[in-house]
Structure 1
Amino acid sequence: MVEFAALEGLTRGLALEFAPVRVNCVSPGLVQTEMLDTLEGDGRKAMFENAAQRLPVGRVGTPENIAAHALAFMANPYMTGATVYVDGGGALI
């Protein structure tokens, strides 16, 4: 949880320092991206399956899941200093 606290503190501090410019943070969990394609096929598949079994939502994230919340931050001009975890419930376990 140390990483979460540092991330949240940095986001809040930057939001205050740069106001009225808004600063928010999307903290993603495991996301199936091309960057992970460098892992061996069976290893990658096993990693995603194991993670999906542990997550409350039952699957790993997609880039579209992260983008949806980035767009939500942009659409709401009243949000600043917020950190949102788009992690399929990973922070809960």
Structure 2
Amino acid sequence: MDIFSNRFEMRWAAIILTMYALIMVPFPWYFNETYVAGFGGVPLFVYAWVLHGIAVLVLIWRFSREALKRPEYRNFEDIQPEK
């Protein structure tokens, strides 16, 4: 099974690649060579990185919840303990 034949995997690949591209492009809110003060004197890009990190963690949690509902991710027959 490849990514293009499964809608679930294609959607999540697009989400993950979008988040990766968003952080890699040097937007001024992620990368700045001059000091731009934010709340409390902390540079503005620090807040952007923290918010992006939280968004990534939420997406990882959501992916795990959706993936564990799918039958191909729930095959535990190989690792069941013997009675």
TM-score, normalised to structure 2, is: 0.32
More helix by share: 2
More strand by share: 1
Which structure is larger by alpha-carbon Rg, 1 or 2? 2
